[in-house]
Structure 1
Amino acid sequence: MDSMSCYVGLMSGTSLDGIDAVLVDFENASGRTLKTAYVPYHPEIKQTLLDLHFSKAGELEQSLLAANQLARLYAEAVNQLLDGTDVTPRAIGCHGQTIRHRPELGYTLQLNNPALLAELTGIDVVADFRNRDIAAGGQGAPLVPAFHQAVFADSDTPRAIINIGGISNITHLSGTNVTGFDCGPGNLLLDAWCERHTGAPYDKDGAWAREGEVSNSLLDKLLSNDFLQLAPPKSTGRDLFNMAWLEHQISATAQAKDVQATLVEFAARCISDAITRHCADVREIYLCGGGTHNGLLVQRLTHHLPHISAASTEKLGIAPDWVEAIAFAWLAKQTMERRPSNIPEVTGAAGPRILGAVYPA
């Protein structure tokens, strides 16, 4: 095995649960996963990151200190990943932790200190993937559709890859055409509401939501959000969908478990409505991300798309928990090889661009 074909991918998403790390050998185009690791966020760093989503006094210094903390956690994940191997990867692809995403205003912010990460690991780091696309007039997200096209496309069958993370996003693969977009909240509101009312970080398999009943009036209010009516390209995050927004929609008499049940239905409808409106030819859907473990959410999603076959990306050869981290290993490879990795039809950018900034070890 040639170490020069090996890359590390690091992903810490909107769910704020921790860091996924993968070691991938790209000797062949689709890649081969050699090893995985996971480093959870401790409650203090998670709360700091949540706080930094909103403006407050001292946020500049706090964000820089948090970036240093994250770099050390990323290095811990890399060391854990490479322990016991004889591989020296060509580069690390590190997305960083998004705390602001406002492409309509021309900016996005992912906390990270890639220079420190390169110093701590002795490995070249590729980071800051979104800003080049935004500079070209794009949304800077989603970035994974190019990877999905490379490894999941089928020329004969239109299909959609659905990542249910904190925010859900869809990649539509139809022949040689690729589109992709964020379609609304996935686990973000579900996890936050569950933690507030039960103390658990997430509702395992949707068990608590199953005890409640869907409120149609609340569901209608949630589904009326302007973002959901927009045509792609589009992207979103905690800047729009957050607990303050949710609380504004809920009546004072609402039962907590009914809200949870309604949020599951909302997450499923965000995806199914988007498939119906924007991906009408799709015959197969493949799910990845943490939401694949919520049985009730998957059940409701397939209920709304009865004529489309559904499976996890495991069926296509990649475990659903690791798709995004592998994608950032692939994006780092594209950068190191000076190949474009955005899709203008997905992000709205003026054209193909080489993404990412390289921090040599």
Structure 2
Amino acid sequence: MVQYHTTLDHPLGCAMVKTNQTKPEMQMSDRSTVKAIGVISGTSMDGIDVSIVDTDGDTLVKPGLGRTFSYPDNLRRTLQALIAEPAQAQSEPLEDLERDVTEAHIAAIRRFMEETGIGAAEVKLIGFHGQTVYHRPEIRFTRQLGLGDKVAEALGIDTVYRFRHADVASGGEGAPFVPLYHRALASNLQQPIMILNLGGVGNVTYIDGDVVIAFDTGPASALLDDFVLRRRGMSYDENGQLAASGRIDQKLVSVFMQNPFFDRPAPKSLDRQDFHARAKGVEALSDEDGAATLAEFTVQSVVAALRHVPRAPQRWLVTGGGRRNAHFMKRLREELGVAVDPVESVGWDGDFLEAQAFGYLAVRSTLGLPLSLPTTTGVPHPMPGGELHRAA
């Protein structure tokens, strides 16, 4: 198990926490570590990721084991249909669906603990992200389905959830929410470095010493996944084979890249569905050419991220399911002209970074430490967050 050390006592980090909370009596370096389970289902809804991290919530991180558990098919289909209807996701109570999502996460955590032999007495906290179904920071609204009190009650472990709400309520973008965990892991790597997450939506964390900048880049796998599902009945383009076999419609890609989002300064965030309406031009293309064009849109949206960082990084580390798409990785190396490697190349586990991050953030939440920064989500000051539910 690899152990990472870093410090967050810089002008955008923990040094400013005293303006928002009572300063802890003990020094950061004196804190003992605790085991925290993190659990999340991302916008791609390809499964529920569960992992564990041993951390003090600040300078010490020891990532542990992880597992992915599938949603029940009917629940996944219901969630996909809901996300396609934004008004319903915003306004409906969705009590039954939220209960079902919560139960699915409880079942996943139970299976994880059974399969890994981790007992409840060993775990101090659960960081429960829930399932995002609607994210509109411009109206100060974000919705993640999941009931933290039910998780704590069912598993007998204190649970933190509602991680994004304080950030969004304060005018932040509410995403991305993993940068401080990235920074802790990357402290021993040459910088500047860019961590690229290719999930349903793409996002980056730029790290250069005390500078941490994060933002969503554009569509990652969402557009391509939905396209191949409609055309071929496949949940994703395995290894990018379909995209690699087609011809790119450069005119369409150029039209897609005219979206004003790409010139907006960081930080900024997206909903999974934000580009779907504008990407309908691919419907006139063949399966192969449509896939190639959508994949190229993802690549060019990542390249556009360089407009918003101080120095071009000499290395990109890629996490999320997109790192397994050989076509994505090949095109990114060609366009960026520097090393583009999966995060496994430095000993991280790309399948579970986000789950681990929410375990890490759960510990930070209980300590009153920031979960987001002005340079990661646009909040006015380093922002604590999360809601703690004690086990019965």
For the aligned pair, the TM-score class normalised by the smaller chain equals over 0.9
Distance 1:45 1:12 in 2: 13
8 Å CA contact 2:201, 2:216 repeated in 1: yes
Partner of 1:319: 349
Residue 62 of structure 2, aligned match among 8, 18, 32? 32
1:86 and 2:119 are equivalent in the alignment: yes
Partner of 2:15: none
> Structure 2, unaligned stretches of length 5 or more?
1-31
Secondary structure, aligned partner of 1:347: coil
Distance 1:178 1:113 in 2: 31
1:157 CA drift (Å): 2.0
Distance 1:108 1:304 in 2: 34
1:250 and 2:278 are equivalent in the alignment: no
1:238 CA drift (Å): 2.3
Residue 274 of structure 2, aligned match among 240, 252, 259? 240
CA gap of 1:55–1:272, structure 2 versus 1, over 3 A, is closer
Partner of 1:356: 386
CA gap of 1:342–1:173, structure 2 versus 1, over 3 A, is same
1:162 CA drift (Å): 0.6
CA gap of 1:286–1:57, structure 2 versus 1, over 3 A, is closer
Secondary structure, aligned partner of 2:340: strand
1:1-361 counterparts in 2 under 5 A?
A: 5-26=34-55, 29-53=59-83, 54-55=85-86, 63-83=94-114, 84-88=117-121, 89-154=123-188, 157-242=191-276, 244-247=277-280, 249-250=281-282, 252=284, 254-306=285-337, 308-361=338-391
8 Å CA contact 1:155, 1:176 repeated in 2: no
Alignment-mate amino acid for residue 247 of structure 2: E
Distance 1:283 1:116 in 2: 45
Secondary structure, aligned partner of 2:79: helix
1:191-214 deviation line (CA, Å, top 9, x unaligned): 111111111111110011122111
Alignment-mate amino acid for residue 51 of structure 2: V
Distance 1:106 1:58 in 2: 15
Alignment-mate amino acid for residue 86 of structure 1: G
Secondary structure, aligned partner of 2:94: helix
CA gap of 1:340–1:289, structure 2 versus 1, over 3 A, is same
1:56 CA drift (Å): 5.8
Alignment-mate amino acid for residue 176 of structure 1: D
1:276 CA drift (Å): 4.9
CA gap of 1:136–1:209, structure 2 versus 1, over 3 A, is same
CA gap of 1:5–1:158, structure 2 versus 1, over 3 A, is same
Distance 1:25 1:322 in 2: 14
Give the total of aligned pairs: 356
1:242-288 deviation line (CA, Å, top 9, x unaligned): 3x4422x3363x21210101111111111122125535331111110
1:295-314 deviation line (CA, Å, top 9, x unaligned): 000110111011x2222222
CA gap of 1:60–1:44, structure 2 versus 1, over 3 A, is farther
Alignment-mate amino acid for residue 5 of structure 1: V
Distance 1:4 1:297 in 2: 38
1:133-154 deviation line (CA, Å, top 9, x unaligned): 1122211111111111122135
Alignment-mate amino acid for residue 137 of structure 1: G
8 Å CA contact 2:204, 2:216 repeated in 1: yes
> Structure 1, unaligned stretches of length 5 or more?
none
Alignment-mate amino acid for residue 206 of structure 1: G
TM-score by length of 2: 0.85
8 Å CA contact 2:217, 2:301 repeated in 1: yes
1:43 CA drift (Å): 2.9
Distance 1:139 1:127 in 2: 17
8 Å CA contact 1:155, 1:174 repeated in 2: no
Distance 1:207 1:155 in 2: 32
